[in-house]
Structure 1
Amino acid sequence: MRAGQGALMVSAAEPHAEAGGLGESTLAPSGADGLTHLVFGLAPAEDSGSDTLGRYRYQAEVAARDCLTMLTEESIDFIVCEWHEDFVVAFTDGSVELVSVKHREESQGPWSVTELCKTGGLAHLFDRWCACECAPNVRLRLATNAAMKPSKNNAGTLARMCGPEPELTSGLTDMVKTVAHQMLKIRWKQEYLNIPLTPEVKLADIQPPAGFVEKVRRFLAVLEISCAPPQRRYITDVNIQRLLAPAVKSLELVDVDLEATYRAIVNRIEQANRDEEDRSQLAVYIADPTRVRYNTQLQQRISRRQLTRTIIYEEFEYTTVQPPTVPRGQTPVVAPGGIRLRRKLSRGQVLSDEAEFAESLRSAWFTTWSGRRSGLVGDETDLMNLSFDVLDTAFKCRRHARSEVNDGSAFGTEMNELLAERLTVDALSSTPPFPLNDLHLRGLAYQLCDECRFYFSEPFDTDEEAS
């Protein structure tokens, strides 16, 4: 199964390499970046996609399907964009999959065998597979939004005959010959280095060179024709709901902004597609697989186009929804003490209902801190750092409030209003030790006030103040 179907098929196709083909020895020694696949030692025949990237948003969204699958499928190692095909999926078992994306407008109807070979990407995939010396660790996928013509011996039949374990084998020999003839005909008008040029005759009279038909048979054995990608107008919603949302749930992530995250991932894929500083400097492929050497410029080019789990994780966007004031599942507890806070609020002439709310927030902070603290030494450091921020804001609010009233007049009400305005999570100088909201910070402020760390009036002896 492919991205969008819950998992990716990771078993390599059965080896059918020709003499001189590449087996285990096709993998070059691992470099520092872990790129070991022969396919990444080949320079692409052409790379004009970066120049016209604006027209290929759909291609990026199809690549996003594999990137999202990579989050939960350990079998995928990394993805390289816009390389030999639209993107290449590298697997941890050493195999790679060259993926060609073909969007087809609904008005054009389903694909026929002839169209698949000519404009549907099959000839191009075949050419690139041959450039990889038909290595047994290389698989192919044609991903398209359009259906296959269901008529007998047409594209629908071809799709069922593809893969190492085809659904349909009856008539396979005739289908292989049909595809071979179509590719040879296409070669008359389009240059493919690995499709031989034959005399231009009637289609039925084409004489395939020796071994070509058998090579096409092996090509179909490592090919998958996938109609899983949705239509252009649906692909965004489908990818978010069927791939990103389940991945977020599986990874047990919270407060993920699904739409913003998806947009960021697709934008990152597009960036990888067009991140090409010097398209003219391509490494030369050394034909002898036992002497594969990597060109530094080629390595850098691959690195710029590479997408890993870490890179995709970095694109996740999170909502700004703050946690509840009283943690879910916890019983609110009345904080001990409180008499000094009440006396200070009273001296500052803070209204009684606001003073009562202050007591409730102090208890909410007490409940939250009791549940969040680990009991380790670091708790006190976390609390001290957070308290520094709260006290600094409280003192600034007091100075402002005092300057707004006549000398000797109460300023507690004004100071309390300034605290509510300025004491926010966004205004903290550092990230809090655990998720907090603005009311938690005010609750901590009232707790610090109860501990006589600051006043809502000029300082006085709270122990001598009548309740």
Structure 2
Amino acid sequence: MLECDTGGDLQSPPCTQRGACSHAGPERGTSMVDTAGTGAGAEGAGTPSEPDGPTYSELTIFDLAPEEDSGSDTLGRYRYQAEVAARDCLAMLTQDAIDSVVCEWHEDFVVTWTDGSVELVSVKHREGTQGPWTLAELCKSGGLTHLFDRWCACECAANVRLRLATNAALKPGKGNAGVLARMCGPEPAVTAGLTVMAEDIARQMLKVRWKQPYPNVPDTPVCKVADIQIPAGFVDKVVRFLGVLEISCKPPHRENITDVNIQRLLVPAVEQLKLAHVDLKNTYRAIVDRIERANRDESDRGQLAVYIADPSRVRHSTQMQQRIGRRRITRDIIRREIVFTSVPLPTFPRGQAPVVAPGGAKLRRKMRRGRVPSDEVAFAERLRSAWYTTWSERRSGLAGDEIDLLNLSTDVLEMAFDCRRHARAQVAEGSEFGIKMNDLLAERLKVDALPSPPPFQLNHLHLRGLAYQLCDECHFFFSEPFDADEEAS
């Protein structure tokens, strides 16, 4: 399946792509690495000639550190691959189907889905002067052979999908890369000639194998490409490989990807989440920087994709879970990177009539039992309505809303209980402590005092409104507990 576009939006986001997390041969470097030529020692080291030396099967690309290249062009390519990963991370803000994005070592990234499937994504940037990809170039330097090898390393599991994401066009014509892209995926647009195409790809991969020792590609004698004898069963395996592969031309060029991602992905996400006063440029920069930090976590090396694809491998390995955790980017992490401007947030949204929150009777009874003055009770009702209006306006409508509300409510409840303990300690034993507790709530319940950032921008009065709503729902009292329903009757 082919997806070609210059940008992408929330209606056709990058998370609908299918692909793989890999780079081939001498182009390999660190994760999110230069796609044009660093890291020859990573996979091109070959097998030592000494008979008593280690065989390739005893080596992995993670045993050798990628070569250093401090050139600005290389750094630009690192950044580009992080920005391609940012497209999937931004999609997480509004799509519950994506669980996380995991950055790889010597790879690009892995998208994990809530249905248990994973998508290995390989990113290839190509300069405009290089022209479109040919079939042979895709297999040699376009990452297709490396993608196939990583898929085999995952034991061709049914839950593994692959995506090759590139900014470049694909050369049209019979038997070339453009036709190949239309033959990929579970519902290919072109099926005629699939076996012939698979044979051509198999020969190109076998040719690549002569110089790059991929363990899951058979080693055949060097000869003319047309004369290569394809091992039995290899073409069938390539056909299966194409069935889970997507070649996507959706990522923009390096010069344009920042603006495209902000305008077509971040802006619609901010609008859908109803966030106010978001600093778009600094937010996007913070998200890409966070992805790059995950890429630079080189304290441990390992082929994470294999473990991510098969959770049973990692279930009892605390060390591997920690490695994956350091590289995992979740929805909550992306939300914490959102940068807000310093514009004060009004308690009630401007331009609309205030909405009165339903309920409130139990809150009034509890505050009255705690001897809270009537004017402060009325103010509490107003703040509860402010919270009700704000939550109604800013919730995304997705399943994640309930978790966001649960986390925020838990933090507010913890602070309310802390205020109650201090209020009890500051009054005579047996005295009503509701007045003091309400004073402490006003003093301590602040946004910057929360243990974790709220899911969207709030002010201090909104938090107090949520606290009063939780009181109305009987999560806490302003006095010793009593039956609020029985008192009403």
Q: TM-score range by the shorter chain?
A: 0.5 to 0.7
Q: 2:99, 2:335 → 1: CA distance? A: 14
Q: Does the CA-based 8 Å contact 1:116-1:122 persist in structure 2?
A: yes
* Alignment map for 1:316-395 (pairs within 5 Å): 316-323=338-345, 328-329=350-351, 373-374=383-384, 381=439, 385=443
Aligned to 1:106: 128
Q: 1:119, 1:172 → 2: CA distance? A: 22
Which deviates further from its counterpart, 151-160 or 123-132? 151-160
Q: Does the CA-based 8 Å contact 1:382-1:433 persist in structure 2?
A: no
Deviations 1:149-187 (A, max 9, x none): 112221100000000110111111111111000000010
* 1:311 paired to 2:337: no
* 1:223 paired to 2:245: yes
Q: Structure 1 residue 6: deviation in Å?
A: 3.1
Change (3 A) 1:194 1:326: closer
Q: Does the CA-based 8 Å contact 1:50-1:273 persist in structure 2?
A: no
Q: 1:203, 1:223 → 2: CA distance? A: 24
Aligned to 1:8: 15
Q: Structure 1 residue 57: deviation in Å?
A: 0.5
* 1:211 paired to 2:242: no
Q: 2:170, 2:160 → 1: CA distance? A: 24
Change (3 A) 1:285 1:235: closer
Aligned to 1:150: 172
Aligned to 1:17: none
Counterpart pick for 2:212 among 156, 172, 190: 190
Aligned to 1:80: 102
Q: Does the CA-based 8 Å contact 2:104-2:305 persist in structure 1?
A: no
* Alignment map for 1:439-454 (pairs within 5 Å): none
Q: 1:57, 1:327 → 2: CA distance? A: 38
Q: Does the CA-based 8 Å contact 1:282-1:297 persist in structure 2?
A: no
Q: 2:85, 2:15 → 1: CA distance? A: 13
Q: Structure 1 residue 382: deviation in Å?
A: 7.8
Aligned to 2:254: 232
Q: 2:151, 2:230 → 1: CA distance? A: 18
Aligned-pair Cα RMSD in Å: 3.5
* Alignment map for 1:40-439 (pairs within 5 Å): 45-46=61-62, 48=65, 54=75, 55-83=77-105, 85-279=107-301, 292=313, 294-323=316-345, 328-329=350-351, 373-374=383-384, 381=439, 385=443, 432-434=460-462
Deviations 1:212-237 (A, max 9, x none): 01101110110000000000010001
Q: Does the CA-based 8 Å contact 2:104-2:304 persist in structure 1?
A: no
Q: 2:385, 2:163 → 1: CA distance? A: 54
Change (3 A) 1:383 1:191: closer
Q: Does the CA-based 8 Å contact 2:347-2:461 persist in structure 1?
A: no
Q: Structure 1 residue 432: deviation in Å?
A: 3.8
Q: 2:348, 2:99 → 1: CA distance? A: 42
Q: 1:164, 1:278 → 2: CA distance? A: 35
Change (3 A) 1:285 1:116: closer
Q: Does the CA-based 8 Å contact 2:99-2:112 persist in structure 1?
A: yes
TM-score (norm 2): 0.59
Alignment identity in percent?
60
Change (3 A) 1:154 1:384: closer
Letter in 2 for 1:374: R
Letter in 1 for 2:383: R
Deviations 1:323-372 (A, max 9, x none): 479973379xxxxxxxxxxxxxxxxxxxxxxxxxxxxxxxxxxxxx8995
Q: Please state whether the residue corresponding to 2:269 is helix, strand or coil.
A: helix
Change (3 A) 1:316 1:44: farther
Q: Does the CA-based 8 Å contact 1:85-1:125 persist in structure 2?
A: no
Q: Please state whether the residue corresponding to 1:232 is helix, strand or coil.
A: coil
Q: Structure 1 residue 385: deviation in Å?
A: 3.7
TM-score (norm 1): 0.62
Q: Structure 1 residue 301: deviation in Å?
A: 1.0
Where structure 2 has 5 or more consecutive residues not aligned to the other structure, the ranges are 20-58, 354-378, 387-433, 445-458, 464-489
Q: Does the CA-based 8 Å contact 1:101-1:144 persist in structure 2?
A: yes
Q: Structure 1 residue 311: deviation in Å?
A: 0.8
Aligned to 2:472: none
Q: Please state whether the residue corresponding to 1:433 is helix, strand or coil.
A: helix
Higher RCO (CA < 8 A, seq sep 6+): 2
Q: Does the CA-based 8 Å contact 1:85-1:98 persist in structure 2?
A: no
Deviations 1:56-100 (A, max 9, x none): 100000000000111111111111002573000011111100000
Change (3 A) 1:253 1:382: farther
Which deviates further from its counterpart, 170-179 or 222-231? 170-179
Where structure 1 has 5 or more consecutive residues not aligned to the other structure, the ranges are 13-42, 332-368, 387-430, 436-467
Q: Structure 1 residue 291: deviation in Å?
A: 7.5
Change (3 A) 1:381 1:234: same
Which deviates further from its counterpart, 221-230 or 71-80? 71-80
Q: 1:292, 1:162 → 2: CA distance? A: 29
Aligned to 2:480: none
Q: 1:373, 1:284 → 2: CA distance? A: 48
Q: Structure 1 residue 51: deviation in Å?
A: 6.0
Letter in 1 for 2:439: T
